[in-house]
Amino acid sequence: MSLAGHLYRSVFQSTAPQCPPRPWRTILRLPIIFDLVSLGLQLRDLGRLSRLTKDYVVEDDYHRSVHDYNAGVTINKRITVTRRAEEIYEILAQPPRDLTKEQLLIVGPRNVAELYLGWLHGYRWRNIQAIDLYSMNPKIRPMNMEAMDFEDESFDALTMSATLAYAEDFERAIGEVSRVLKPGGRFVFGHPYDPGSPEWPGNLVRASEIKGMLERCGFEIYFHTAVDKVNSAGDVQTTHRFGAVRTRGLDPVRDPLEF
């Protein structure tokens, strides 16, 4: 092709990017701007704090204790000032693709800050839904992750930043995730292995056990990291990050990589 032909193609037949450019959202992710916007969004919802300990969507003692613990954390902290959940959405955004067409479910966000992170990483606001045992925002529906009130294959992606450890039945929770995800849907979540915190049985579940549960529930792991850190209680915990894709319902990959 001649130079003139390349020039014509560059101007009139430009190659579309793998995902739409989002310069405005990139600006909103800058530290000071992000903090101010996140603060403003959270301040609008503070009136809901007084109602967090009055209503339950679960009847059993275990899940009520999970509700009370996390509602207490939300009441005491009031405003989320960290960006720890951001890593989950960085993983979810890979490989690059048009996220505006995907339906996202966030499980256990506590407040609107994590929904905002999902929007900043490319999801349309109207395509973001969220559930928790209590609601700090109209977009967060009170619901138990182990018995979700959604139809089969409703979502393209599902995230849990630090939620799965509160499940009473780990495999049942992962099975529910598989049920509500479409074939090819992505499940990205964090999990702390902390044997020094037996209050929540999920903290004692090892990564190798989670791997087996994911496989039995029709998932294939495509991303994993593990980092040790000293937590606020002074215990050494291993923080895992998992990315898994629901392969159940998909045709087998021609050239799979076996682990």
Which CATH number covers residue 160?
A: 3.40.50.150
Rounded distance, CA 38 to CA 31, Å? 11
Rounded distance, CA 245 to CA 184, Å? 6
For residue 207, being part of any structural domain is answered with yes
For residue 15, being part of any structural domain is answered with no
For residue 71, being part of any structural domain is answered with yes
pLDDT of residue 199: 79
pTM score: 0.92
Q: In this structure, what are the phi and psi dihedrals at residue 12, rounded to the nearest 5 degrees?
A: -110, -15
Average pLDDT of span 39-54 = 91
pLDDT of residue 223: 96
pLDDT of residue 10: 59
pLDDT of residue 259: 64
Average pLDDT of span 19-25 = 80
For residue 251, being part of any structural domain is answered with no
pLDDT of residue 120: 96
pLDDT digit string, tens, across residues 48-101: 998 887 788 888 899 999 999 999 999 999 999 999 999 999 999 999 999 999
pLDDT of residue 256: 81
With a cut of 80, say whether residue 12 has pLDDT above it: no
CB 141 within 8 A of CB 147: no
For residue 192, being part of any structural domain is answered with yes
- Write down the mean pLDDT value for the chain: 91
With a cut of 70, say whether residue 118 has pLDDT above it: yes
CA distances from 85 to 10, 33, 89, 231 (A): 38, 17, 7, 16
In which residue are the tokens 């530290």 written? 31
Question: Positive or negative CA dihedral for 186, 187, 189, 194?
Answer: negative
For residue 206, being part of any structural domain is answered with yes
| Residue 254 pLDDT class (50, 70, 90 cuts) | confident
With a cut of 60, say whether residue 6 has pLDDT above it: no
User: 73-97 burial by CB neighbour count: b if 16+ within 10 A, else e?
Assistant: ebeeeeebeebebbbbbebbbeeee
Instruction: Please tell me which residue, 119 or 257, carries the higher pLDDT value.
Output: 119
Nearest to 180 by CA among 133, 145, 139: 145
Average pLDDT of span 135-154 = 96
Neighbours of 151 (CB within 10 A): 9
Domain count, the chain: 1
pLDDT of residue 76: 93
For residue 33, being part of any structural domain is answered with yes
pLDDT of residue 85: 95
Instruction: Please tell me which residue, 146 or 234, carries the higher pLDDT value.
Output: 146
Neighbours of 217 (CB within 10 A): 21
Q: What is the three-state SS of the chain?
A: CCHHHHHHHHHHCCCCCCCCCCHHHHHHCCHHHHHHHHHHHHHCCHHHHHHCCCCCCCCCHHHHHHHHHHHHHHHHHCCCCCCCCHHHHHHHCCCCCCHHHCCEEEECCCCHHHHHHHHHCCCCHHHEEEEECCCCCCCEEECCCCCCCCCCCCEEEEEECCCHHHCCCHHHHHHHHHHHEEEEEEEEEEEEECCCCCCCHHHHCCHHHHHHHHHHCCEEEEEEEEEEEECCCCCEEEEEEEEEEECCCCCCCCCCCCC
Domain that holds residue 114: 26-246
pLDDT digit string, tens, across residues 170-225: 999 999 999 999 999 999 999 999 988 777 889 999 999 999 999 999 999 999 99
For residue 255, being part of any structural domain is answered with no
Q: Range with the lowest mean pLDDT among 14-18, 21-25, 72-76, 160-164? A: 14-18
With a cut of 70, say whether residue 13 has pLDDT above it: no
Give, to the nearest 10 degrees, the angle between helix 170-180 and helix 207-216: 40
